[in-house]
Amino acid sequence: MIVLGIETSCDETAVGLVDDTGRVLGQGLWSQIAAHRPYGGVVPEIAARAHGDHIGACLDEAFRESGLDRGDVDGVAATCGPGLIGGVMVGAVMGKALAAGLGVPFVAVNHLEAHALTVRLLEAVTFPYLVLLVSGGHCQLLIVRGVGHYRLLGTTLDDAAGECLDKGAAMLGLPYPGGPALEQAAKGGNPHAFDLPRPLKGRSDCAFSFSGLKTALRQRVEALTVHGPLSNAVLADLAASLQEAVADVVADRVAQALRMVRDDPNESSLTALVAAGGVASNATLRARLAALASTWGLPFKTSPPALCTDNGIMVAWAGLERLRLGLTSPLSTPARPRWPLESLAVESGN
Ligand code: AMP
Ligand code: MG
């Protein structure tokens, strides 16, 4: 079975082709970073237009790379939410049109579900597992019980971890997008040089909060730049301290989720700790999560950075997982700016 996936929910225009053995057959990806850089963040109107302009070329690129014809595709999956609605509509309409034209099933994919299932494209991770989803727009802990079956343990009360890193990096004068630049700048810095807050650390639920950490960093930077710009050494210390605070607080929240699952008689034992989303590419965070998983006797699984950030392959894979269970979507499926994962089981009736 070969499935085409389309992703347009944020700032990557992406198409992927995968088969049921998890082989990536082809992909096309247009990153809009350059278009948004002058504004220091994703501008929804610019993103929507850029998706419309580039989706055709991404599609051609994926088919060219795979050597397949349009007629070889057994199903078309597209992200139908959550995300920036103008962009989601571009991908959803393209996916529906292709499915209708080719006479194959359409699968409406939830963007968060795609992140949560990506690890299974790489290896046979069995249910249930715990997913930490950390990206530019999302910060959540989920139990993945099966395709379409998710329990949300906790989410952020304000910003996502990626938002905190991106805005923190901007305060330090680093280029957009900030996460990778901050990781680079932190090399050689002292992660304990600045005592930044750890919001919600030790709390008995699995919520996250990052806005206070952002504010604390801004106050430090303002105080340090009163008499001139930051030295490279201080910049490295600030970057390392912010990265450490984020990793520390995320690891604490994950540990809390593991305790909650262990102490809940209605939950089965987890098979793995999985990290997904762009921020999961961060080496400091990965090391912390791997160490945590090992103290719990769990394997730690994540994907290469290209599959952590948004891409079409993860959407194709989620589509394939649904399709092989017979879960297809009507062409009337709406594009949604908000689409909680926990509503999926009800909608698909499984
Ligand atoms: P996504 O929203 O999944 O496309 O991922 C984009 C987010 O991941 C942005 O907030 C990036 O700054 C962040 N990100 C990407 N690579 C890294 C990295 N190496 N370290 C920290 N954050 C990262
Ligand atoms: Mg993105």
Which residues of the chain are modeled with pLDDT < 50?
none
* One domain for residues 102 and 243: no
Q: Which residue has the tokens 């968060």?
A: 112
Q: Can you give the pLDDT at residue 343?
A: 85
Ligand 1 pocket, 181 CB below 6 A? no
> What percent of the chain is helix, strand and coil (3-state, nearest 5)?
50, 20, 35
The candidate with the shortest Cα–Cα distance to 85, out of 342, 295, 337, is: 337
Q: Which DSSP string do the residues of 47-116 spell out, in sequence order? A: HHHHHHHHHHHHHHHHHHHHT--GGG-SEEEEEEESS-HHHHHHHHHHHHHHHHHHT--EEEEEHHHHHH
* One domain for residues 317 and 295: no
Q: Which of 286, 303, 320 finishes a domain?
A: 303
The candidate with the shortest Cα–Cα distance to 108, out of 146, 73, 77, is: 77
Tokens of 347: 């909608």
Ligand 1 pocket, 7 CB below 6 A? no
* One domain for residues 97 and 205: no
Return the best residue to mutate from 12, 36, 51, 165 for the ligand 1 pocket (most ligand atoms within 8 A of CB). 165
Tokens of 69: 């014809």
Report how far apart, in Å, the C-alpha atoms of 343 and of each of 78, 279, 346, 347 are.
18, 25, 6, 6
Q: Can you give the pLDDT at residue 41?
A: 85
Residue 118 to residue 31: CA distance in whole angstroms: 20
> What tens digit of pLDDT does each residue of 218-254 get?
999 999 999 999 999 999 999 999 999 999 999 999 9
* One domain for residues 157 and 290: yes
> Rounded to the nearest 10 degrees, what angle do helices 232-263 and 211-224 cross at?
160
* One domain for residues 154 and 134: yes
Ligand 1 pocket, 82 CB below 6 A? no
* One domain for residues 266 and 137: yes
Cα dihedral sign, 146-150-151-156: positive
Could you tell me the pTM of the whole model? 0.94
Total domain count, the chain: 2
Q: Which residue has the tokens 């690890």?
A: 119
- Coil, strand or helix: which one is 164? helix
* One domain for residues 143 and 292: yes
We report the CATH number of the domain holding residue 220 as 3.30.420.40
Domain that holds residue 251: 127-303
Ligand nearest to the CA of 115: 1
Ligand 1 pocket, 183 CB below 6 A? yes
Q: Can you give the pLDDT at residue 346?
A: 63
* One domain for residues 232 and 340: no
* One domain for residues 344 and 318: yes
Ligand 1 pocket, 165 CB below 6 A? yes
* One domain for residues 245 and 339: no
* One domain for residues 274 and 142: yes
> What tens digit of pLDDT does each residue of 97-115 get?
999 999 999 999 999 999 9
Q: Can you give the pLDDT at residue 348?
A: 60
Q: Can you give the pLDDT at residue 350?
A: 53
For residue 306, report the distance from its CA to the centre of ligand 2, in Å.
11
Residues 6+ apart with CB under 8 A from 29: 12, 13, 14, 15, 58, 311, 312
Ligand nearest to the CA of 51: 2
* One domain for residues 142 and 232: yes
Residue 145 to residue 89: CA distance in whole angstroms: 29
The candidate with the shortest Cα–Cα distance to 107, out of 325, 345, 327, is: 327
Residue 207 to residue 20: CA distance in whole angstroms: 35
First-residue to last-residue Cα distance in the chain:
22
Give me the residues paired with residue 129 across strands: 144
